[in-house]
């Protein structure tokens, strides 16, 4: 029985490579230089598939992949149904924050109990956060370039991933609240865990041993 590992291109792929190496898995070809979506590895019964970051939980949930690496942000939005999450891999670390245009009085807007217009890809995270604060929000779902929404007057605030804050700064936005810290998790299909226990245990244990704490 072979193992399919779902990853996304970019930082998750790059930061997962050392963990795969710890499990004795090396990918034969550089995905950044290829248009293929399925990549063989040095192990005949292990392959890597590349999907959108937010699709990793979906592939693993429905058995398109046995195991994957997904950001906590994607996992919360997905809901986590059918997934076993054995490990915080401590990679792709960032945070989900609220940001507004420079000069926008966020504290006053929140205090006055007015409706706040929020643009975000992370509607579940945003909804729960503002519900807990008792702030009424109108949610606009976006799929990218969230920074543009407050600048065009489409929203008062955005809820987005922040790491250095460079993108916010370049667009004259300021981070006004940190909602949660984010890192990537190992995601395992629960049925596959029973069916392919030895192989998946080896991957989980090897990854666990290679996680850089801190
Ligand atoms: P797509 O580009 O397919 O719409 P995406 O933008 O979420 O998806 P990436 O930018 O590759 O995909 O991000 C993948 C994951 O890496 C995110 O889900 C998040 O957990 C994490 N991440 C995103 N941006 C950063 C960042 N600036 N620094 C560290 N980790 C990040
Ligand atoms: Mg991206």
Every domain of the chain with CATH number 3.40.190.10 lies at 3-92+183-213, 94-180
Q: What is the mean pLDDT of the chain?
A: 97
- The per-residue pLDDT for range 7-49, each reduced to its tens digit, is 999 999 999 999 999 999 999 999 989 999 999 999 999 999 9
| Percentage of the residues of the chain whose pLDDT score is greater than 90 | 96
Ligand nearest to the CA of residue 68, numbered in listed order: 1
Q: 30 in helix, strand or coil?
A: coil
Average pLDDT over every residue of 171-183: 98
Task: Note the pTM of the prediction, 2 decimals.
Answer: 0.96
DSSP run (H or E) holding 38: strand 38-40
Query: Is residue 148 within 6 Å of ligand 1 at its C-beta?
Result: no
Query: Is residue 189 within 6 Å of ligand 1 at its C-beta?
Result: no
Query: Quick one: pLDDT at residue 175?
Result: 98
Query: Quick one: pLDDT at residue 213?
Result: 77
Average pLDDT over every residue of 150-160: 98
Burial class (CB in 10 A: 0-12, 13-18, 19+), 64: middle
DSSP run (H or E) holding 118: strand 116-120
- pLDDT above 90 (res 166): yes
- The per-residue pLDDT for range 121-153, each reduced to its tens digit, is 999 999 999 999 999 999 999 999 999 999 999
94-180 is a CATH 1.10.10.10 domain: no
Ligand 2 center from residue 195 Cα (angstroms): 34
Which CATH topology does 3-92+183-213 take? D-Maltodextrin-Binding Protein; domain 2 (3.40.190)
Are 182 and 71 contacting, i.e. CB atoms less than 8 angstroms apart? yes
């Amino acid at each position: 029985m072979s193992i399919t590992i779902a990853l996304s291109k970019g930082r998750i792929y790059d930061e997962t490579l050392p963990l795969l190496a710890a499990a004795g898995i090396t990918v034969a070809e550089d995905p950044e230089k290829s248009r293929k979506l399925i990549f063989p590895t040095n192990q005949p019964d292990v392959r890597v598939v590349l999907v959108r970051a937010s699709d990793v939980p979906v592939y693993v949930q429905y058995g398109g992949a046995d195991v994957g690496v997904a950001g906590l942000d994607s996992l919360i939005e997905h809901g986590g149904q059918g997934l076993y999450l054995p490990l915080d891999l401590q990679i792709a670390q960032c945070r989900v924050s609220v940001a507004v245009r420079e000069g926008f009085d966020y504290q006053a807007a929140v205090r006055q109990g007015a409706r706040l217009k929020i643009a975000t890809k992370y509607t579940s995270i945003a909804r729960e956060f503002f519900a807990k604060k008792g702030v009424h929000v109108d949610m606009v779902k976006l799929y990218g370039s969230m920074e543009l929404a407050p600048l065009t007057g489409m929203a008062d605030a955005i809820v987005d991933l922040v790491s250095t804050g460079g993108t916010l700064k370049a667009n004259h936005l300021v981070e006004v609240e940190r909602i949660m810290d984010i890192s990537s998790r190992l995601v395992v299909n629960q049925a596959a865990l029973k069916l392919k226990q030895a192989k998946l245990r080896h991957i989980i244990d090897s990854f666990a041993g290679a996680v850089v704490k801190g």
